[in-house]
Amino acid sequence: MNDSMHDTAMTPVFPGSEDAAGQRATLGVMGGGQLGRMFVHAAQRLGYFTAVLEPDPQSPAGLVSHHHIQTDYDDPAGLAQLAQLCQAITTEFENVPAQALQTLALTRPVAPSAAVVGIAQNRIEEKAHFMACADVSGVTCAPYAVIETPAQLQAVQDERADLLPGILKTARLGYDGKGQVRVGTADELAAAWAELGGVACVMEKMLPLTAECSVLVARGWDGQVVSFAPQRNVHVDGILAVTHAYEGNMPPALATRAREAAVSIAHHLGYVGVLCVEFFVVDDGSEHGGLVVNEMAPRPHNSGHYTLDACDASQFDLQVHAMAGLPLPQPRQHSPAIMLNLLGDVWFDASGQRREPDWSPVLSLPGMHLHLYGKLQARAGRKMGHLTITGPDVENVKTVARRAAGLLGLPGLDDI
Ligand code: ATP
Ligand code: MG
C-alpha cells in the first residue's frame, strides 16, 4: 500500500455511458452530509447518476441524489444495493466503518481505500504514518505520546513534562474540536483522561501557532497527482470559521513546503481520491516559522469549498475524476477568494430567538456566492452553509468579506 509501484490501473467509468445491462454510469457515496451533497452536484453536472447510502431520510446529499439508500452504513443489504447500482464508490466522512468500505471493495472500485480511511480514523495510526514518512515529507507532527493504558498515563506523567501544557485528544471520533481537553499539569492530565472515559488517546504538546493552513491533493489510480495551493484557515472555538485563498495568504516558502509535504504524504499512502492535509505554522524563531503536520481528512474538506467558485476545477470535480479513473487536470484558481462558514448560530438572534438570516443585503454584494446545505434544523455550531467571496483582487475580496461578516455577525475576520 505504501508503494506507488503498487498503483493499479482502473478502467475509466465515463459519464453518460451504459454498461452491458443498460445501466447508466452511476457513482456512489457513503454518507449524506454537505460534502456528499457537493459531490453529488459535481457528479451530476458531468452526467453521472448518483447513489447515496445514508440512514437520515432528510440528509443534504440524499435529498439531491438519483438514488438514496436509507440504511445504516454497515447494513449488508444496503451495501449490496450500493455496490449493485454503482461502478465506483467513495466516502464523504472519515468515520464510515472501514469494514463497510472493505465489503464494497470486494466487487467495486472504492476510493479512498478502507486501509487509508482506517489510518485517518485513528490519530495514533495517523501520527505514526506522518512520522514514518517525515524523511520524505520534511514535516513532523507536534511532540506527542500515546495513552491507551494506565501504565502509559503514568509514564507520560513521570517522564514527559515536555508535553505540558498540552492537549489530550481521543484517538477516534474527534471533529470540530470535540474529544479534546487542554491540560496544564500532570494531575490535570489524569483527570482529563478519566473525563474522556479512559479511551485510547494521544497527548500532544501545545504549540505556539502563528497560523493554520491546509492543502488539498487529488491522486488517481495510476499515481498521478494534482494539488491546490495551501489555504490559510482561521478557527473559532475549534471550528473552521474563515478560509483565505489567495496569493500572499502565507509566506511563499512555507506554502511550497506545505504543498510538497501533502503530495508526498498522499504518495506514501498510495492514496486514491481527494486528501486534505492540515498543518500548523509555529513560531520557532525562524523567519517564516516552522511547519508541523496536524491531521488529514480522506475526503474533500471544508477549507476547500472556495474551489467551487474560485477555481476551474473544484475539489469535488477532482474527487469525481479520481474515483472514476478520469484524467486529473491541474486546477487553476482564477479569482482570489475568502470563504466564511455559516453556522447555525446565524439563525438565532441575541436573545436566542429563531430567525431567518437577512439574505437580501448579503446577496446584493458583488462576487458573493451563497451555499446552503439544505439542513432543516439550525443548531449552534452546526455547519449550515458557507459564503465564498470572489473578486478582481485581494483587497476587494477582503472588503466584501468584512461587509458580509458585519451583516451576519460572523466571527474570525478580525485580522484582515
Ligand atoms: P477538525 O474539525 O479539523 O477535524 P479536530 O477536532 O479533529 O478538528 P484538531 O484539528 O486536532 O481537532 O484541533 C482543532 C484545533 O485546535 C486546531 O485547528 C488548532 O486550532 C487547535 N490545536 C489542536 N492541536 C493543537 C496543538 N498541539 N497546539 C496548538 N493548537 C492546537
Ligand atoms: Mg483539524
CATH code of the domain in which 98 resides: 3.40.50.20
The finding on whether 142 has its CB within 6 A of some atom of ligand 1 is yes
Task: Give the span between the Cα atoms of 289 and 306, in whole angstroms.
Answer: 26
Q: Determine the Cα angle at 263 with ends 261 and 269, to 5°.
A: 105
Residue at a domain's end among 89, 120, 151:
120
Task: Give the span between the Cα atoms of 97 and 31, in whole angstroms.
Answer: 11
Whether residues 332 and 291 fall in one domain? yes
The finding on whether 174 has its CB within 6 A of some atom of ligand 1 is yes
98 domain residue, yes or no = yes
Residue (of 15, 18, 84) closest to 44 by Cα position: 15
Whether residues 189 and 239 fall in one domain? no
pTM: 0.96
Q: CB neighbours (10 Å) of residue 135? A: 9
Whether residues 25 and 156 fall in one domain? no
Which residues on adjacent β-strands are paired with residue 372?
385
pLDDT on residue 205: 97
Whether residues 113 and 180 fall in one domain? no
65 domain residue, yes or no = yes
Q: Which atom of ligand 1 is nearest to the CA of 207?
A: 28
295 domain residue, yes or no = yes
Residues 6+ away with beta carbon under 8 Å from 118? 98, 125
Residue at a domain's end among 182, 205, 228:
205
Task: Give the span between the Cα atoms of 256 and 97, in whole angstroms.
Answer: 34
What separation in Å is there between the alpha carbon of 209 and the centre of ligand 1? 11
pLDDT on residue 21: 84
Whether residues 225 and 333 fall in one domain? yes
Whether residues 217 and 190 fall in one domain? no
152 domain residue, yes or no = yes
Hey, which of 124, 280, 301 would you mutate to test ligand 1's pocket, going by the most ligand atoms within 8 Å of its Cβ? 280
Task: Give the span between the Cα atoms of 326 and 312, in whole angstroms.
Answer: 16
Residue at a domain's end among 205, 220, 240:
205
The finding on whether 164 has its CB within 6 A of some atom of ligand 1 is no
pLDDT on residue 49: 98
Q: Which amino acid is at 106?
A: L
Q: Report the run of H or E that residue 226 belongs to, with start and end.
A: strand 225-227
125 domain residue, yes or no = no
pLDDT on residue 287: 83
Residue (of 47, 41, 39, 55) closest to 89 by Cα position: 39
Whether residues 405 and 393 fall in one domain? yes
The finding on whether 207 has its CB within 6 A of some atom of ligand 1 is yes
- Domain range for 164 is 143-205
Q: Walk along the chain (416 residues) and give the pLDDT tens digit of each residue.
A: 444 434 566 899 999 999 888 899 999 999 999 999 999 999 999 999 999 999 999 999 999 999 999 999 999 999 999 999 999 999 999 899 999 999 999 999 999 999 999 999 999 999 999 999 999 999 999 999 999 999 999 999 999 999 999 999 999 987 666 789 999 999 999 999 999 999 999 999 999 999 999 999 999 999 999 999 999 999 999 899 999 999 999 999 999 999 999 999 999 999 999 999 999 999 988 888 799 999 999 999 999 999 999 999 999 999 999 999 999 999 999 999 999 999 999 999 999 999 999 999 999 999 999 999 999 999 999 999 999 999 999 999 999 999 999 999 999 998 77
Q: Judge whether 173 and 179 are in contact, CB under 8 Å.
A: yes
Whether residues 309 and 254 fall in one domain? yes
Q: What is the CATH number of the domain that holds 154?
A: 3.30.1490.20
Query: Count of domains in the chain?
Result: 3
The finding on whether 206 has its CB within 6 A of some atom of ligand 1 is yes
Which residue's alpha carbon is nearest to atom 19 within ligand 1?
A: 238
Identify the nearest ligand to the CA of 94 by its number: 1
303 domain residue, yes or no = yes
Whether residues 193 and 230 fall in one domain? no
20 domain residue, yes or no = yes
Identify the nearest ligand to the CA of 202 by its number: 1
Whether residues 44 and 100 fall in one domain? yes
Whether residues 233 and 356 fall in one domain? yes
Q: Is the dihedral of CA 240, 252, 229, 261 positive or negative?
A: negative
Q: What are the φ/ψ torsions at residue 44 (nearest 5 degrees)? A: -65, -35
The binding site for ATP comprises: 123, 169, 174-180, 204-207, 212, 235, 294-295
Alpha-carbon radius of gyration of the chain? 21
131 domain residue, yes or no = no
Whether residues 386 and 239 fall in one domain? yes
Q: How far is CA 253 from CA 108, 259, 290, 334, in A?
A: 41, 10, 11, 21
Residue whose entry in the numeric block shows the C-alpha cell 430567538: 353
Q: How far is CA 368 from CA 37, 40, 248, in A?
A: 20, 22, 21
